Amino acid sequence: MNTPAKFQVTSPPFRWDEAGGIRIGSSRVTLDSILASYHNGSTPEEIAIQTRPTSSTTETTTNSKTQLSRFKTALACSLSVKRRVEAKCAF
């Protein structure tokens, strides 16, 4: 008998900026830019590379970096799964 896997569910680290956009964690990356990259054909892996913080923009705490990394991984996985489902179902 297999024991079900336990998952820790956390909310993505979204925040509203002063212009009304949604940003990821304390980074300057917007949710719109991630979605635009996806809709323009970027793979989840390419999006993760494109949005990787540079040394000049890394002003986050270790916890925020961990949350952002987890979010990017979750986003990459969900986008990958979505693409596979769309390909099989021919939406």
Which is it for strands 14-16 and 22-24: parallel, antiparallel or unpaired? antiparallel
Residue 58 is predicted with a pLDDT of 46
Q: Which parts of the chain have pLDDT scores under 70?
A: 1-5, 7, 9, 53-65, 81, 89-91
Residues 6 and 63: their CA atoms lie apart, in Å, by: 21
Comparing C-alpha atoms, which of 44, 71, 49 is closest to residue 60?
71
Residue 4 is predicted with a pLDDT of 66
- What global pTM score does this model have? 0.46
Residue 25 is predicted with a pLDDT of 81
Read off the amino acid at residue 48. Answer: A
Residue 47 is predicted with a pLDDT of 85
Residue extents of the structural domains in the chain? 14-51+62-89
Read off the amino acid at residue 29. Answer: V
Residue 56 is predicted with a pLDDT of 44
